[in-house]
Amino acid sequence: MSAEQQQGRFDYLRDGAEIYRRSFATIRAEADLSRFSADEEIVAVRVIHACGMVEIAADLVFSPGAATRARAALREGAPILCDSKMVAEGVTRARLPNRNEVICTLDHPSVAMLAKNLGDTRSAAAIELWSDRLDGAIVAIGNAPTALFRLLNLLERLPLRPACIIGMPVGFVGAAESKEALIETAQAPFITVRGRKGGSAMTAGALNALAGEAE
Amino acid sequence: MSAEQQQGRFDYLRDGAEIYRRSFATIRAEADLSRFSADEEIVAVRVIHACGMVEIAADLVFSPGAATRARAALREGAPILCDSKMVAEGVTRARLPNRNEVICTLDHPSVAMLAKNLGDTRSAAAIELWSDRLDGAIVAIGNAPTALFRLLNLLERLPLRPACIIGMPVGFVGAAESKEALIETAQAPFITVRGRKGGSAMTAGALNALAGEAE
pLDDT per residue over A191-203, tens digit each? 999 999 999 999 9
Amino acid A22: pLDDT: 98
Q: Nearest-CA neighbor of A137 among A119, A112, A149, A154?
A: A154
- Is ipTM strictly over 0.85? yes
For B13, phi then psi, to 5°, come to -70, 120
Q: How many CB atoms lie within 10 A of CB A160?
A: 17
Spatial strand order in the sheet of A60-62: A60-62, A190-193, A164-167, A138-141, A80-82, A102-104
Regarding predicted confidence, which is higher, A6 or A70?
A70
CA–CA separation, B29 and A146 (whole Å) = 23
Of B9, B15, B90, the CB nearest to A153: B9
Sheet holding B102-104, edge to edge: B60-62, B190-193, B164-167, B138-141, B80-82, B102-104
| CATH number of the structural domain B16-211 | 3.40.50.10230
B26–A146: do the CB atoms touch at under 8 Å? no
Q: Do A53 and B171 touch (CB under 8 A)?
A: no
Q: What angle do CA A148, A192, B140 make, to 5 degrees?
A: 80
Paired sense of beta strands A80-82 and A138-141, if any: parallel
Q: How far apart are the first and last CA of chain A?
A: 37
- What residues of B are in contact with residue A177 (Cβ under 8 Å)? 12
3-state SS assignment for residue B9: coil
Could you read off the pLDDT of B174-214 as tens digits, one per residue? Answer: 999 999 999 999 999 999 999 999 999 999 999 999 999 87
User: Looking at the predicted structure, is the pLDDT value of residue B55 above 70?
Assistant: yes
Min Cα separation A8/chain B (Å): 5
Q: Does residue B5 carry a pLDDT above 90? A: no
pTM of the model: 0.96
Cα–Cα separations (whole angstroms), residue A137 to A80, A93, A128, B86, B206: 6, 16, 14, 23, 33
The nearest CA of chain B is from the CA of A179 a distance in Å of: 12
Show the DSSP H helices in chain A as ranges.
3-7, 16-30, 38-51, 66-75, 85-90, 111-118, 122-127, 131-134, 145-157, 175-185, 200-211
Chain A: residue whose CA lies nearest to B128: A6
Domain ranges of chain B: 16-211
| Distance in angstroms (rounded) separating the CA atoms of residues B6 and B64 | 51
Q: Which of A9, A93, A127, A173 to mutate against chain B (most B CBs within 10 Å)?
A: A173
Encode pLDDT of A155-180 as tens digits: 999 999 999 999 999 999 999 999 99
Q: Is B49 a catalytic site residue? A: yes
- The answer to whether residue B201 neighbours chain A at the CB level (below 8 Å) is yes
pLDDT value of position A2? 43
CB-based contact B153 A10, cutoff 8 Å:
yes
pLDDT of residue B8: 87
Kindly list the residues from chain B whose CB atom is less than 8 angstroms away from the CB atom of residue A181.
10
Residue of B nearest to A146 (CA): B14
Average pLDDT, chain A: 95
| Mean per-residue pLDDT, A24-29 | 98
Residue of A nearest to B120 (CA): A14
Q: How high is the pLDDT of residue B2?
A: 43
DSSP designation for B23: H
Residues 52 through 91 of chain B touching chain A, CB cutoff 8 Å: 52-53, 84-86, 89-90
More confident position, A8 or A45: A45
Contact of B129 with chain A, judged by CB distance below 8 Å, is answered with no
Q: Rounded CA gap, B126 and B105, in Å?
A: 5
Q: Which site among B15, B59, B89 would you substitute to test the A interface, given the most A Cβ atoms closer than 10 Å to its Cβ?
A: B89
Q: Is B140 helix (H, G, I), strand (E, B) or coil?
A: strand
- Nearest CA of chain B to the CA of A75: how many Å? 25
CA atoms within 13 A on the CB side of A35: 9
Test the B interface: residue of A27, A89, A193 with most B CBs within 10 Å: A89
**A93 Cβ under 8 Å from any chain B Cβ:** no
Active site residues of A: 49
Q: Which residues of A touch B175 (CB under 8 A)?
A: 52
Question: What is the percent of chain B where pLDDT is above 70?
Answer: 97
Angle A194-A178-B6 (CA atoms, 0-180°, nearest 5)?
165
Q: How confident is the model at residue B6 (pLDDT cuts 50, 70, 90)?
A: low
Active-site residue identified among B39, B41, B44, B49:
B49
Q: How far is CA A151 from CA A121, B57, B82, B86, in A?
A: 13, 33, 32, 24
Separation of alpha carbons B176 and B196, rounded Å: 5
In which element (H, E) is residue B150 found? helix B145-157
Instruction: Inspect the interface and report whether the beta carbons of B9 and A171 lie closer than 8 Å.
Output: no
Q: Nearest 5°: phi and psi at B184? A: -70, -40
pLDDT score for B3: 46
Select the residue of B15, B175, B204 nearest A52 (Cβ to Cβ): B175
pLDDT of residue A8: 87
Summarize pLDDT for B109-156 with one digit per residue, the tens.
999 999 999 999 999 999 999 999 999 999 999 999 999 999 999 999
